[in-house]
Amino acid sequence: MQLPDVWTHRWPRFDGVTWYRLRWHEDGPIVPRGLYLRDLSLAGVISLNGVELARDAHLQEPLSRSWNLPRYFRLDEPLLRPGQNELLVRVSGLANFQPGLGAISLGPPDQLRAQYARDNLVRRSLQWVGIGITAMMAVLYGMLWLLRRSEVSYGWFCLFCLLWLPFSSNYVALSAWPFDSTDIYQRVNHMLMLASLGAFFMFALHFCERNAEWLRLLAGAPLAAFVLALAIAPDDALVNVRNATVLLGVAVYLAACVLIVHDAFTRRRAEALVLAVALALTVAAAIHDVLVFLQWLPGNNYYAALSSAATVIGISFALTWRLVRGLQLVENFNQELRQRVNEASERLAQTLRHQHDAELVQTRLTERLNLVRDLHDGLGMTLNSHISALQAHRGQQSPDALWALREVSDDLRLIIESSAFDDTDELAERIVPLRHRCTRVLEAAGIECHWQFERLAGCRMGARRGLDFLRVLQEALTNVLKHSGATQVDVRIAHSGSDLRLSVHDNGRGLDTDEAARGTGAGMGLASIRARAARLGGWVEIRSRAGSTVLELCCPATVESA
């Protein structure tokens, strides 16, 4: 026979003990040698020249599990003898679990120890690393799922890891604990494999956002049927059932991988592309392990548990990427929300300021109207009574006194009428009463008055600004009446672009513009005109010579077109 050996090729249904004997001859002086046994299945005892080198703990059911445990020994005197040496290996095995002895090497110690170190790294150390990574990811994403139940893919990934842990421990376990039978251990192990791959398929569905019920049934129904078959299958049929479960599990796993890869390349999501690359490694490992398990490939190396670390890392990366992207969306939303709140707060503050200003204006207008009513009811009645009395005794009283009272009465009426206007009244409507009174007074004094309005239809001004504008016009016409000696005056009011312009042009004697600019002499009333122009945000210009005087006011047209 040749090693490695599986004795079911000679005795298909043999469960029991087989002895393997290897003999070689040592010539000359004894030099140290290395002895390397790759594996034996399932348990055994190793002895050299009658001296026991190693013994597994359980040589009867439940047997120890040395199928994935490489062994190395350094041989020297007196254990190694000159002449003939004999190595005996007792193997206790079961026909359902590929019983036999793996390859044995005898040679230079350093060379075989290096080979042992490499195999031990791949077959045991890295397997433990993969188990540790899987356990860590199960805890991490299990906690994330508990804190955020809506992330269903986290829950299925955690369940996949939890079920995969005991299955992958099969690659490093040295006993069948906690079961008292190797058959029961293997049945449960394959059940866990099917359940974990079913959880992986569910993870793939949720990760790819596929909610089709028929896909769940397509994978879930055969998995459940084979779990039941593993539980009830007789011992002589266990091998066939177990082989079928491996093929089914690989088919479900490949189907899940196809879903993820298809989703990665159709939706072009970065996390899915990374996961697809990681799954490519595990798919290759899974196919290799199936071929070894079915003995279609020689050897006893399995990489599924080892490559599962790549799968777990790839899935964790994809889920973390998705989590980070969600956090970024939340941060961007919070930033945008904060910006909108600030903008809304600023708008609210402006609204409150405007409301406060409007309330102040309204309060002032209310007080002003109250004052106007008092003037109308008190001073107005007194003036009218005095005017009536003077008119009754016109021949006995000075006409200047009657004129002064009428002037005061007209001015009081202007104040009252201007205060009665609101912001919706047109400017032309405010000018009409003043135009009527001023024209009457000017014509009574022999001054011909011409009025010209341009584009004033629909123009509006606030009550305060309107009163200032009318005061400027009134003062300009009063100066014409009192000081100019004119026979004609032209009044022009025009709205042009963003400006409102007032022009008062008379043909009188003119005035000293320097004195008018300083506010002295006959031009004392011009100081009031300039002050009101400043409140209107505009300017006043006076151009005067003999026979022509022009007073021009220009202010911003804070008006609306109807």
What does the pLDDT look like over 182-228, one tens digit per residue?
Answer: 999 999 999 999 999 999 899 888 888 887 788 888 888 989 999 99
- What pLDDT does 522 receive? 46
Contact 186, 97 (CB under 8 A): yes
397 within some domain: no
Looking at the fold, whether 183 and 97 belong to one and the same domain comes out as no
DSSP letters for 274-303: HHHHHHHHHHHHHHHHHHHHTTSS-S----
Q: How far apart are CA 540 and CA 530, in angstroms?
A: 6
Contact 550, 543 (CB under 8 A): yes
Q: Which residues of the chain have pLDDT under 70?
A: 270-272, 276, 278-282, 285-286, 288, 293-297, 299-310, 322-323, 326-327, 365, 368-425, 512-524, 557-562
Look at residues 43, 75, 107 and tell me which one is the last residue of a structural domain.
107
DSSP state, residue 124: I
Looking at the fold, whether 533 and 430 belong to one and the same domain comes out as yes
Looking at the fold, whether 184 and 275 belong to one and the same domain comes out as yes
411 within some domain: no
Question: How many helices and strands (H and E) does the chain possess?
Answer: 14, 15
Specify the CATH number for the domain of residue 78. 2.60.120.260
Contact 53, 59 (CB under 8 A): no
Phi and psi dihedrals of 454, rounded to 5? -130, 125
Contact 418, 468 (CB under 8 A): no
Q: C-alpha distances in angstroms, 271 versus 195, 321, 332, 478?
A: 25, 6, 20, 86
156 within some domain: yes
Beta bridge partners, 95, equal none
322 within some domain: yes
Nearest of 147, 149, 276 to residue 208 by alpha carbon: 276
Q: How far apart are CA 7 and CA 403, in angstroms?
A: 142
What Rg do the C-alpha atoms of the chain give, in angstroms?
54
525 within some domain: yes
Looking at the fold, whether 301 and 166 belong to one and the same domain comes out as yes
Looking at the fold, whether 323 and 245 belong to one and the same domain comes out as yes
Looking at the fold, whether 233 and 156 belong to one and the same domain comes out as yes
Looking at the fold, whether 443 and 477 belong to one and the same domain comes out as yes
Dihedral angle of Cα 35, 37, 42, 43, to the nearest 10 degrees: 10
**Exposed, middle or buried by CB within 10 Å (0-12, 13-18, 19+), for 344?**
exposed
| Structure tokens, 198 | 């079913």
33 within some domain: yes
Q: For residue 335, which amino acid is it?
A: Q
Nearest of 78, 76, 9, 74 to residue 35 by alpha carbon: 74
- What pLDDT does 272 receive? 67
| Structure tokens, 446 | 């022999």
| Structure tokens, 334 | 């919070």
pLDDT, tens digit (0-9, with 9 covering 90-100), for 91-119: 999 998 889 999 999 999 999 999 999 99
Contact 496, 556 (CB under 8 A): no
Give the number of other Cβ atoms within 10 Å of residue 316's Cβ. 20
| Number of compact structural domains in the chain | 3
Looking at the fold, whether 88 and 194 belong to one and the same domain comes out as no
Q: How far apart are CA 106 and CA 195, in angstroms?
A: 43
340 within some domain: no
Which residue has 């505009």 as its token pair?
538
Q: How far apart are CA 99 and CA 18, in angstroms?
A: 9
Q: For residue 448, which amino acid is it?
A: E
Looking at the fold, whether 91 and 123 belong to one and the same domain comes out as no
- 472-504 burial: b if 16+ Cβ within 10 Å, else e: bbbbbbbbbbebbebeebebebebeeeebbbbb
Q: How far apart are CA 445 and CA 434, in angstroms?
A: 17
Phi and psi dihedrals of 50, rounded to 5? 80, 0
How would you classify residue 431: left for phi > 0, otherwise alpha for psi between -120 and 50, otherwise beta?
alpha
Helix 152-168 to helix 304-374 angle (10° resolution) is 160
| Structure tokens, 408 | 């005061």
Q: How far apart are CA 51 and CA 145, in angstroms?
A: 56
* Domain, as residue range, for 65: 5-107
Look at residues 87, 107, 127 and tell me which one is the last residue of a structural domain.
107
Q: For residue 69, which amino acid is it?
A: L
Q: How far apart are CA 450 and CA 190, in angstroms?
A: 112
Beta bridge partners, 18, equal 91
- Say what the pTM is: 0.57
Q: How far apart are CA 27 and CA 444, in angstroms?
A: 156
Phi and psi dihedrals of 28, rounded to 5? 75, -165
Nearest of 483, 469, 477, 473 to residue 537 by alpha carbon: 469
Looking at the fold, whether 140 and 93 belong to one and the same domain comes out as no
Look at residues 333, 368, 394 and tell me which one is the last residue of a structural domain.
333
394 within some domain: no
Specify the CATH number for the domain of residue 453. 3.30.565.10
Looking at the fold, whether 99 and 120 belong to one and the same domain comes out as no
Contact 368, 412 (CB under 8 A): no
Looking at the fold, whether 432 and 461 belong to one and the same domain comes out as yes
What is the side-by-side strand order in the sheet with 539-545?
A: 448-454, 488-496, 499-506, 548-556, 539-545
